[in-house]
Structure 1
Amino acid sequence: MGQESAGTRGPWSGDRVRSIVYAGLDSIVTSFSLISSISGGRLSSGDVVVLGLANLVADGIAMGFGDFVSSSTERDMVRKARAVLQQGLRRHIRPQLTDLLHAYQALGMATADATTVVSVLAKYEGILVDEKMSLERGMLPPRQMEAPWKSGLVTFLSFVGFGSAPLLAFGLLLPFAVPPAARFLAACLLAGAALSLLGAAKARLSGQSLPLSVAATLFNGALASASAYTIGSLLSNLLRLE
């Protein structure tokens, strides 16, 4: 009844796409802001690559582990809530069925139809518990939730993968005699392309306007990067760094 079956989640379920989008946005802005601050401080391209990769891996591990812990905690809470609800159904089945009947009526279901549905669900305890969890508490059954290790892995890979985009310009051009300004421009273009891709994914996920979502994502990245570049440049001049 209104629940998504475990088999329909697929590799591009809402929770997974959400993790990819937000981890990717965070990593691109973080990585490009670091590049901007280092460039503002006039450090070498090698410094950019080393510090950028170290920062990406460290932050990616932290975010992935944080997602894993958060998902594990959420699933444990759902399991506990389900167990409590199941015990309540076994002890006081009538009031629970009445509450479910009223919930269906509040959704606009006719009394006769709601009574029929509740009568059928009363024969299947597991399905009844899942339905009450979904309808009254907005919780999916634990078996339908994303495995915590998968959530953590997706977050880590998204963070490191998308955050590497701005660093590619410096890493690939490192063996060549390319002016620092050209490398920084290439990093801007790659970061912009990655931000645009994630902005488009965010628009599809949230149902927002595609141009508006892409523009907002690019503005966010540009503002953060400009701030980091300005601070790096000011501190470099203030401390007389070369």
Structure 2
Amino acid sequence: MTGKRHESLEHQHRPEVIRHRLREPSRVQNLPDAILGGIDGCVTTFAVVSGAFGAGFSATVALVLGVANLLADGFSMAVSNYEAIQARREHVEGVRRNEHQHIDLVPEGEREEIRQIFQRKGFAGETLERVVETICSDRELWVETMVREEHGLQTEGLSPLRSALTTFFAFLVVGAMPLLPYALPGLGTTRQFLASLLVAGLMFFLIGMGKSLVYHQPVLTSGLRTLLIGGAAAGLAFLTGHLAQTLFGVGM
């Protein structure tokens, strides 16, 4: 470990720094939502471009289809993410209400649950009883402990609106990248598609690298994996468009 890294860790673990960090509100990590929206946006628009090119559509048609899908699918995905996060919040609130009710009806049973939870963590004897007494003397702490420890639920940082907006804007920004070559005049259809292919490939790889920061995966491996997934989706769309042109005469 380098000297600077060690100094930084020592600073982060000073009592006053720890105290300040723990008092701050929980910081929601929006990067997973951004990665989700970015990957889906790039896959969606480049799949449309690939399908249009495979079917022999003009650049104008590909651009119109791409923009339409970009807006519609981006909105749909944002709404879906909003509803999913909202459902999680409602579930947590329901569990919290149940725990309050259980404490009113069977306080000793709930106290025993706290005892066994911390017993499994290695506490015993007088220390265990002091932990149980401390937690159960604060009703809100008691309930939050049960929500986290018994049910394994996250109780902070669930913001449906923030998640939805993050997903939507990431979808739009990254998803628009494969469409840029089709907005440039003077390029032939084949060159526009190849340029879009390069841009999409770069986006997939960069998103995969960014994903490695969230899930602690090897950077290169994560980038290549996302590139392969996006490439497979685009290849499937291209094949579908080409088959539609061949079998049904779809195209220009």
TM-score > 0.5, shorter chain as reference: yes
Residue 26 of structure 2 aligns with which residue? 8
Indicate the residue corresponding to 2:49 in structure 1.
35
Deviations 1:123-149 (A, max 9, x none): 2111111111101101123xx232212
Q: Which aligned pairs between 1:63-102 and structure 2 lie closer than 5 A?
A: 63-102=77-116
Q: Identify which of 203, 207, 212 aligns with 1:203.
A: 212
d(CA) in 1 for partners of 2:211 and 2:23?
Answer: 24
Secondary structure at the residue paired with 1:138? coil
Q: CA deviation at 1:177?
A: 1.6
TM-score (norm 2): 0.85
Q: Find the partner of 2:170 among 153, 158, 171.
A: 158
Map of 1:35-184 to 2, 5 A cutoff? Answer: 35-141=49-155, 144-171=156-183, 173=184, 176-184=185-193
**1:115–1:9 Cα change, 3 Å:** same
Q: Unpaired segments of 5 or more residues in structure 2?
A: 1-21
Contact kept? 1:72, 1:148, Cα under 8 Å: yes
Query: What letter matches 2:211 in structure 1?
Result: K
Distance 1:104 1:153, change over 3 A: same
Stretches (4+) displaced over 3 A: none
Alpha-carbon distance in structure 1 between the residues aligned to 2:159 and 2:218: 31
Per the TM alignment, residue 111 of structure 1 is displaced from its structure 2 partner at its CA by 3.6
Q: TM-score, normalised by structure 1?
A: 0.89
How much does 1:194 deviate? 1.2
Q: Does 1:215 align with 2:224?
A: yes
Aligned length: 230
Question: Per the alignment, in what secondary structure is the counterpart of residue 8 of structure 1?
Answer: coil
In structure 2, what is the Cα distance between the partners aligned to 1:30 and 1:179?
Answer: 22
**1:108 counterpart SS class:** coil
2:57 maps to amino acid: L
Contact 1:75/1:145 (<8 A) preserved: no
More displaced 10-residue stretch of structure 1: 132-141 or 102-111: 102-111
Question: CA–CA distance in 1 between the matches of 2:124 and 2:193?
Answer: 64
Task: Indicate the RMSD between aligned Cα atoms, in angstroms.
Answer: 1.7
> What CA distance in whole angstroms lies between the structure 2 residues aligned with 1:131 and 1:5?
18
The amino acid that maps onto 1:214 is G
